[in-house]
Structure formats: structure tokens, C-alpha cells
Structure 1
Amino acid sequence: MQLLFDSNMNHWERIDILHINRMPSRSYYIPYHDLSIALNFQPGCSRLVQFLNGAWKFKLLNTPYDTPEDFPKEDFDDSNWDQIKVPGCWQMQGFGKPHYTSFLYVIPLNPPKVPAENPTGLYRRKFFIPEDWKDKNIWLRFEGVDSAFDVWINGQIVGYSTGSRLPAEFDITDFVRFGENTIAVRVFQWSAGTFLEDQDMWWLSGIFRDVYLLARPKGHLYDIFVQTDLDEEYKDAKLKVKTLWKNPIGKKICYQVEYKLVDEQMKEVIKPVIWDEFILDAEQKEFEISVDVENPKKWTAETPNLYTLVVIVKSQTGQVLEIIPIRIGFRKIEIKDGLMLLNGVPIKLKGVNRHDFHPDLGRAVPIEWMIEDVVMMKKHNINAVRTSHYPNHPLFYDLCDLYGLYVIDEADLECHGFALVGKINKLSDDPTWEKAYLDRVERMVQRDKNHPSVIMWSLGNESGFGRNHEQMAKLCKSLDPTRPVHYEPDQQGKVVDILSTMYTHVEKLEELVKTDSMKKPGGVNLSREIR
């Protein structure tokens, strides 16, 4: 790990180093200690979660090369530092300068190198580990940091991650102790990943989404993928639940595990699936269950009927170790005869492109603002939203599930500025950037795959069309074969299932519908921009 301090390496400029020690991507969920709290989805009340949001000590440097070597240490004197609010963008709190760009890069086009004068934010704060987290694995999760960052616990380097609008999670079990601990974070305004984040927007920096700790059993459910299928009459359903369990200690662990499915009135819909002896005797194991559900209420944007799948993990003596709830909606997406069908019915998307943005807080969007956006859309008969041009805050998808909005979930990928030098495919056709492209679509799909509102994946925006997009599409479909893939620049439909056009005038639209050039479902994904 000492390579992070090697001045000859500059890991933030290395496209082959996307992360160090970051845990594999997984589905989004929160563990709970109590069933009633879990069913009401109240993460702030879970004893297994500790949010690190709030006031942090902060220092903005002109360059990462000015980082004090002892800044991560517990006894470092930060008494004369400023305070900053997390989540938050430092430019919206009086530090540094915001940048707005349509597609011009704000740094020289010399990927993956970035300027030496690279504003760098140093963050520090204390946190406490309670005694009742004994015998737990402790994870540290960042929901969004722009653009790349290092993290230390108690003076020890934990890891590094890039990809601004994607989560990064670290196992810090071996770095913490009961009682007081110190976390230090170094955030780079620009990194190699900046060249993949040339979206038309305000460019803002910092820890702009939630930061929190999770306490997990030594052996635990790691990933869960819930799939629903309907019969030929679109009446009865099949519920498939694929889980990945991990056991880092390697020793045999035996649990009691129960799966429940409840409706909106908290009534059980199926007979619980119970394992009295659920044995984890390897570092990781996959399990799958499949259950028939008789005529469940279906999920659509007009009828957003939701159920909750609950996974309850107990010790052999019956003590509840954790409860994981997942909202699900019974629905089936198909493409037939050039139409997109939901539950056998053709649907038309009447949607908007939405930035995750607040006029005063930047990209640190409060839940109240998200609700206001969703309610406004519903009032104006909008039924779809494209997360232009990156994954939004995970809570936004919960709202789309609840209120009923179809979501085109878009990868955090745009390199539009290369078009100005006639090289729009410079990165998209470069195999050395393939891992970075795949990383962005994998983390999006893994995080959001359980949301019924997400009806298709988008590979990004205005980045040409190259070999790396083809690999993204392959990975996307292997991770989730249940949803179609969209990407506007693939005009020939080489890898996408949905065709679309941008800024298309009426005459061109009329021409398209009169020809057979669009044999796949299609539409206009961006017609106007309001600035």
C-alpha cells in the first residue's frame, strides 16, 4: 500500500488503477436489527448503520503534492482547519471555483494525465465504534466522491477509488478499534477518470453523497439479485432470488435463514422459505430460490404496486443477526415486433432528462428535493426519467419505485470533448481504457438491478461508439439479461436493443417513421436543454 505515497507513480493519473482495496460491487441494501424498522426502511434507526455525515475538518490545497505526510495520523493538528459539511461540494461552500462546461474539457486533453495544479481536498473527522459491534465485519461506504480519493483509518492507508457517481466500499475491520477512531480522506478534483466524465453540467468536487459504516456478521449475505417473471397470461409470477454469501474467516458457520415476502399491508404473500441449518463452509457461496406467486399485483408507472422481500439471518440459537429488506415489483419487460412491452402491454415513454442537482447545494441533493422533482413529474404526466448522464443518488430510485416512474439508468460516461479535435472515439476504441468503461457499467448494474423502476440500461452519453461500448453491452447483458440496453450513438443497432436520436427536428422524425430504418423500439432521448 505504500505505493500510494510514491511521487513517481501518481495513482490518480493511472487508468490501469481504478481502485485499491475497494470491495466488489454489489446490490444496494441496508442491514437492520429490527423487523419493523426494516419494513419501514429507516436506515437512520438501524443499529447496524452509522452515518458519518455532518461536519468534517477540511483543507483545500492547490495540488496533491502539498499533502502533509502526517495528515492521516490520529494526532495531526487540524485545529486551524476550516469545517465543511458532508455530504457537500466544496465549491458550494466557499472553497475553490466551480466550472460549467457544455462539452469542452476544463483541463488539457492529455489523458490520462491531469495538471499538477489539481485542487485537492483534505478531510478529517473522528468516529466511534460501539462495543456491541464486537465480532462484526465493519464496512465503510461512500455513495459518491468527485472525482477520485484516498482513505485512511487511524493513520493507515485503506484504499483508493475513482468513478464519481458510483459507490465505493471498503472493509475496515482490521483498521478500527472500539471507541474513538480517525478517518482521513484526500479528494482529487481531477483524475484519469475525469476524461470519462465530460458531461454538460456544473463540475463540482468533494464528498457529495452519504458516507456511512455498516456492521455485518462474520458470514453474511453479500449480494442479492431479485428477478420476477410472468406466465404467458401475465397473471401468475415466478420469483427468483439469487444470493451470494461470503465468509471471510473461512471457518464453518451455521445460521438460520428465512425468506419472507410481504405486501404493502405487511401481510405474508407466500409461505416463508426457511433453512434451519444454513451452512457457510467456504469463502463464498451462491444460493438460489425460486417461488411461485399467485396473481400478484403488477408494477407499472401507473400502478406502482410494491412488495418487500425480507431476508432474516439468525444464529443457531435464534438470535437475529441482521434483516435485509428489498422492495420488489412484479413486472416483465419484453421487446416484440419492434415494440417495448411491459406486462404484455406496449408502453410509450414520455420522459425527461434529469441532473441530480440542487441550486444551492450542487450535487448534494436532499431527499426532500428529490421528492419534489418526482411529484412534479407525476403532476405533469411524465412517466419516465433518464438519469442524464450518470447514476443518481440511490434514494432517487426508491422514489421512482414508490411513485411510479420508468428509469433509463445511465452509466457515468461521457467524453464528448474529443469531438472538437476530431477524435470522438479516442478513448472508446482504445483497449487500455476498456477496464474503466466496464467498471462504470458493472457498478451501476450491480447497485441498481433490484429496482422495478429501472427498465433499461444506458451505456453513457456522447462518447462516440467503439469497441469498449461493445464490451460494455456484453457485460451488461451477462450481468442482467432481463433489461434492454440503450446507447444513442449506436445508430445501426449493433449492440443495443433500443434505438434513439438526439435533437431531432420534426421533419426527421416523420422521415424515420415512414421508413423501416427503426426496426427496434426507438424515440428521441434528448430534444431540448434548459440552462
Structure 2
Amino acid sequence: MLNIPKYYEDPKTLHIGCEEPHAYFIPYLNEENALTKSREDSKYFQLLNGEWDFRFYNSIIDVEDGFYAADYAINDNYNKIKVPMNWQMDLDKGYDVPNYTNSDYPYPCDPPYVPDDNPCGIYIRDFELDENDLSRDLFLNFEGVDSCFYLWINGKFVGYSQVSHMTSEFNINEFVHTGANRIAMLVLKWCDGSYLEDQDMWRLSGIFRDVTLVYEPKVFIEDMYMRSEMAEDFKSAVFKLDCVVKARRAQFDGGKLKIEILRADGAEFASAEAEVKPLADGEYCNISFEIPVSNFELWSHEDPYLYTVRVTLSGGEYTDRREHKFGFREVKITPYDRKTGRGPFILLNGVPLKICGVNRHDFHPDYGHAVPESIIRSDLELLKNSNITNVRTCHYPNSRRFYELCDEIGILVMSENNLETHGLATRVPRSNPHWTAECCYRVRNMVNSYKNHSCILFWSLGNESGNGNAFAEMKKEILKIDKTRPVHYEPDAKLKTSDLFSEMYTVQTAMKEIGENKPHIHSRALWNLGLGYHLKPSDYIDKPFIECEYSHAMGNGPGDLEDYHETFYSNERFCGG
């Protein structure tokens, strides 16, 4: 029998051994290497997808100890499984059964505890390292594992993580050696975090996004945050960049940090340089740039013009080079104008925005949650060709590649936190400090990971999870990182947290009273016994109204889209859905 701490039932233990969330980028050897735009072409990147050894158990209590040992002999009880893949999608193997449920949890509810009959899988994979690899800092990334996992390398415990639709990153230098190395993982179907993941969807398990190994220099660019501050006429702006430079297992004698902003054709648009102070092992420094610019192209869904921001650190024997796409754009909310009687508006680059959007699950009937890039691209191109401009990532962050493609194609995104407690929203998260801490970690992870993507116009705190202090605390966490985007949460009782007035499936007669700024009953739902919340006109007069869901097709297709869109365009307060 396996003897491990029950981190999976301890809401105070979300992660062990994980790096702090940060923006996603990888190091490149040189400028030519970076211009390929493919991370697989980087010398400092290795994809660990492919066939892994796998053994499925119907219950964690049946798992035999010792599978994580460096010399463990893989026997006939193991099969090969493709990574990434939800194990239920390996249909001929009998690995568990896919669950589809809406608000009902697929197990007896006793938070934070989950059943002993908790299906799980062991994953094992060997990989090679040489002396050159070990001269750099090695980071093992899991971009999506449902629901939680324990990680060992060469028989040593590395860490634990939970939050299924986000990245978990581990520094593994102290666990590896030259030659063959072995990764062993125990992935559980359910954990205490599953109480925060009661989305209306197929419940699927396992490693369903990429597993990667990144080779960082010992002095490296740890994080970047890019944004622009526009002049009122949008003819000039200040490009702002905050960088974190860190020394790890090394001492840095100081150097330079150079930033270059390149046009789409590769021509230089702007540049700047700053000194980097000496750093002792374990130290870091923050470096900020503010670069006045003019004569730039704006990014929008109609013209998604992207610049390339290249940041190069140099000093002594250390060099680090990173790149990220960037679009100059501004999103903001303007309140109702009492003098003119106009508004409120959502403005994109100073122009009122009508959202013409859909909710998208990162799911495919053949691939589960391990959706290939080709299908994500075809989804987005279909939306674009159908004049659909916006996607809400219901109800968790989508894959890294999804956001990159939205930047490129020109799809506006509401990026939603991995949070829905529909069936327990009267109890979880509410104002419970343990659940609040986990919700705040999830939203920090999302914002830090994707803050540089121009396509994201809104952050969403989650879906159908009731009310309580957890939501105000999550918004505070967002604003510590990013103040450039409005925050959305539909069930917000008195609209004290959400910057938008958002509802689901509001009929057009009720929309009329919102358009006229009359008293309104908001958010009738399970967690308020269907009674909703009484809003006074003053509660929402300055909040643009959107329908975050309004036409649900499960069975027969909806026939009300034209009527809704006529209503959206009948009043400036209505900003679409």
C-alpha cells in the first residue's frame, strides 16, 4: 500500500516545490533561432510528450508502493499511453469512465475530503541529460494535469501540485544527473481542489497538456510584464515593460538589459537599454522601461497587428534572450454620462465595443481536453469567418497556444479563472479562508501566466460560484498584477466587485428594464434560492451590461439569436454577449 501524505485532501497544501507563476516564454540561443517562432527549435527546450508507461488503478488504496524508485522494474501491468491525453479517452483500455454532469458533483460531497475509491494513474518516463544540460537551470513544466499529482525524479520526491488547467513548474537540478533520468508521477482523479471545479462539462483526468523541459541560464529573465499607456488621441503612447532578472546557483557581476520593439516586417520600431546591478546567488532585481512611441499600428479584432518585443540580458558569461508578441491597444469602461445621457461603454481603442461572442470549452469529442493546435486554430478561424469576435474561456483558462492564436488571428478574450462551485456555492468558497487562498492562487496563476497577451480584454473570477469575500480578494490579487483590464463576475450580488453588469439568459423583457435603468432582480440562482438580488438603478447605472451566456444549445439549436442581437443594438448600455 502506498504511504504518502494526503495533500490531496488538505486545502492548506496547494503546491510543494513549485515555482511562482510568471509569464510564459523560453530562452533562445540567438536572434536567428528566436525568429523561427517555434519553441521546438530552441536549443534550450525539450518536449517530453509521446509514449509514457502507465498503470491505472480504480482506487488509490490499491496503489503499490515503490513505483517511483529509480530502479523500479516496469512490469506487464503497465501499458503505453500517449501524453498528452485524458486517460478516459484511451477507449479500448477501460481506464475509468468519462463523467458528464452539470451542478451535481460526481462523488459524495464532504469538502475537503474525496472518496477512497479515487481512480488514479501512474506515469513513468525516462529522459537523457548531458553535462551541457546540467550547466543550466532545468525547469520541468506540466501545462495541464487533472486533478492533482505527486512527482518523483530518480526516486526522490520533487513536489506536489493541483489546479488542473494551469501550468505547474519545478526546478529539478538537485534531482537529476548525467545520463538516464526517470520521471514518476501519481495522478489522482479527485482532490480537494475538485470542489472548485464543478463545471458543466465532461470530467476527464490525467496529463492532458504538454510536458516540457526548459534549460535556463543561471542568470536569467524570470518574468516580464508589457502594456501601453495611450494618449487620448491614440497617436502616441508610452510602452511600459517591467522585467525581473534573477541569479540562481550563480553570482552575476552586472550587465545590460536591452529591449527592442520590432515591426511585423522585422524592422526596428523602438529600443532602450538599462544597467543591471550585480546579483548574489538567489538575488533578483526589477528593471522597468518607459518608452515614448508614436506612429504605431493599433491591435484590434479587426486588424490584429502584432509587434515583437525582444529582451536581451548580457553580462560576463551569461546571456539570455526572450521574445513575446505585443499589440498596442487599450480597453476601458466609461460610466454613464449624466449630461449627454450616453453610455456606459466598453471602449476598445476609444471606440464603443459590442461583444459578439461565444463560450468555448477547451474540449473535442475525439481528444477530450487534449485539443491539438490544428483544431484550436480551425475553431478560431471558423469563429472569425462567422463574424464572432469574442471568446469567454468557460470556465477555466485555455491552453497557452489558444491565447497566442487569438493574438495572431484577432479574437477578443475573456479569460476565466478555473473556478465553479455550482452544486456547493452556498458553502464553497464563500468567505472561508482556506478556499479563498486557493481561489486567489488560481487567479494569480492565470493572470501572471497570460498578462502579456493583447487578445485578453477581461479577467473573469469564475463561474456560478455564489458570493462571499473570496471574490473581492481575488480582484485585489488581480489588481496587484494588472490594472489595465476590467474584471468580470456574473453572480456579484450588488456589483461591488465586477466592473461589468453581467447576467446569464436574461430574457429581452428584463433587458428592457436594464436598458431603462430601472430596478431589477439580478442573478436568480441556486445559491440564493432563485430569489436573486434586488438592484437599485444607482447600483448599476455606470456599469455596461453584457450577457455572459444567453443562448444555450443542448439538443435543439437556439432560434433567438437575431432577436437578442436586435436588442443588443437597441441601447448603448447593452454591450453584447
Please indicate, yes or no, whether the TM-score normalized by the shorter chain is above 0.5. Answer: yes
Residue by residue over 1:414-439, the C-alpha shift from the partner in whole angstroms, topping out at 9 and shown as x without a partner, is 000125xxxx2442222221111101
Q: How does 1:203-218 map to 2 (within 5 A)?
A: 203-218=203-218
Residue by residue over 1:164-184, the C-alpha shift from the partner in whole angstroms, topping out at 9 and shown as x without a partner, is 001100000111112211000
- Matched-pair contact (CA < 8 Å) for 1:299–1:306: yes
SS at match of 2:195: helix
Q: 1:258 to 1:24 in 2, by over 3 A?
A: same
User: Which position in structure 2 is the counterpart of 1:280?
Assistant: 279
Shift of 1:482: 0.8
Shift of 1:530: 2.8
Partners of 1:366 and 1:468 in 2: how far apart? 34
TM-score, normalising length: structure 1: 0.95
User: Which position in structure 1 is the counterpart of 2:514?
Assistant: 512
User: Which position in structure 1 is the counterpart of 2:165?
Assistant: 165
Aligned letter for 1:307?
Y
Q: 1:198 to 1:191 in 2, by over 3 A?
A: same
Residue by residue over 1:226-262, the C-alpha shift from the partner in whole angstroms, topping out at 9 and shown as x without a partner, is 1111112111111111011221236334344321110
Instruction: Out of 162-171 and 508-517, give the one that drifted further.
Output: 508-517
SS at match of 1:357: coil
User: Which position in structure 2 is the counterpart of 1:438?
Assistant: 440
Aligned letter for 2:449?
R
Shift of 1:6: 5.2
Instruction: Out of 41-50 and 28-37, give the one that drifted further.
Output: 28-37
User: Which position in structure 2 is the counterpart of 1:499?
Assistant: 501
Shift of 1:79: 3.7
Regions of 4+ moved over 4 Å: none
Instruction: Out of 27-36 and 108-117, give the one that drifted further.
Output: 27-36
- Matched-pair contact (CA < 8 Å) for 1:256–1:316: no
Partners of 2:263 and 2:472 in 1: how far apart? 40
Partners of 2:252 and 2:69 in 1: how far apart? 37
Shift of 1:341: 0.9
Shift of 1:315: 4.3
Partners of 2:36 and 2:494 in 1: how far apart? 46
User: Which position in structure 1 is the counterpart of 2:385?
Assistant: 379
Q: Does 1:344 align with 2:350?
A: yes
- Matched-pair contact (CA < 8 Å) for 1:52–1:213: yes
Aligned letter for 2:324?
I
Q: Does 1:27 align with 2:23?
A: yes
User: Which position in structure 1 is the counterpart of 2:55?
Assistant: 59
Instruction: Out of 74-83 and 452-461, give the one that drifted further.
Output: 74-83
Partners of 1:101 and 1:426 in 2: how far apart? 18
Partners of 2:286 and 2:257 in 1: how far apart? 14
SS at match of 2:332: strand
User: Which position in structure 2 is the counterpart of 1:489?
Assistant: 491
SS at match of 1:212: strand
Q: Please say which structure displays the higher CA radius of gyration.
A: 2
Q: How does 1:304-323 map to 2 (within 5 A)?
A: 304-316=304-316, 321-323=319-321
Q: Does 1:354 align with 2:350?
A: no
Shift of 1:322: 3.1
User: Which position in structure 1 is the counterpart of 2:326?
Assistant: 328
CA RMSD of aligned residues (A): 1.6
Q: Does 1:47 align with 2:43?
A: yes
Partners of 1:486 and 1:472 in 2: how far apart? 11
Aligned letter for 1:328?
F
Q: Which of 520, 525, 547 pairs up with 1:524?
A: 547
User: Which position in structure 2 is the counterpart of 1:266?
Assistant: 266
Shift of 1:131: 3.2
Q: How does 1:231-250 map to 2 (within 5 A)?
A: 231-249=231-249
- Matched-pair contact (CA < 8 Å) for 1:425–1:466: no
Instruction: Out of 340-349 and 460-469, give the one that drifted further.
Output: 340-349
SS at match of 1:372: helix
Partners of 1:303 and 1:521 in 2: how far apart? 24
- Matched-pair contact (CA < 8 Å) for 1:34–1:46: no
User: Which position in structure 2 is the counterpart of 1:462?
Assistant: 464
Partners of 1:313 and 1:490 in 2: how far apart? 44
- Matched-pair contact (CA < 8 Å) for 1:309–1:326: yes
Residue by residue over 1:381-428, the C-alpha shift from the partner in whole angstroms, topping out at 9 and shown as x without a partner, is 011000000000011001110111110000000000125xxxx24422
Residue by residue over 1:99-140, the C-alpha shift from the partner in whole angstroms, topping out at 9 and shown as x without a partner, is 000111001110010000000110001011133224201000
Shift of 1:205: 0.2
Q: Does 1:16 align with 2:12?
A: yes
- Matched-pair contact (CA < 8 Å) for 2:83–2:210: yes
- Matched-pair contact (CA < 8 Å) for 2:306–2:325: yes
Q: Does 1:99 align with 2:95?
A: no
- Matched-pair contact (CA < 8 Å) for 2:221–2:320: no
Partners of 1:20 and 1:384 in 2: how far apart? 36
**Residue-pair matches, total:** 519
Partners of 2:130 and 2:26 in 1: how far apart? 18
Instruction: Out of 105-114 and 516-525, give the one that drifted further.
Output: 516-525
TM-score, normalising length: structure 2: 0.87
Aligned letter for 2:168?
A
- Matched-pair contact (CA < 8 Å) for 2:138–2:215: yes
SS at match of 1:177: coil
Shift of 1:529: 2.4
- Matched-pair contact (CA < 8 Å) for 1:87–1:364: yes
Partners of 1:274 and 1:70 in 2: how far apart? 51
Partners of 2:101 and 2:109 in 1: how far apart? 14
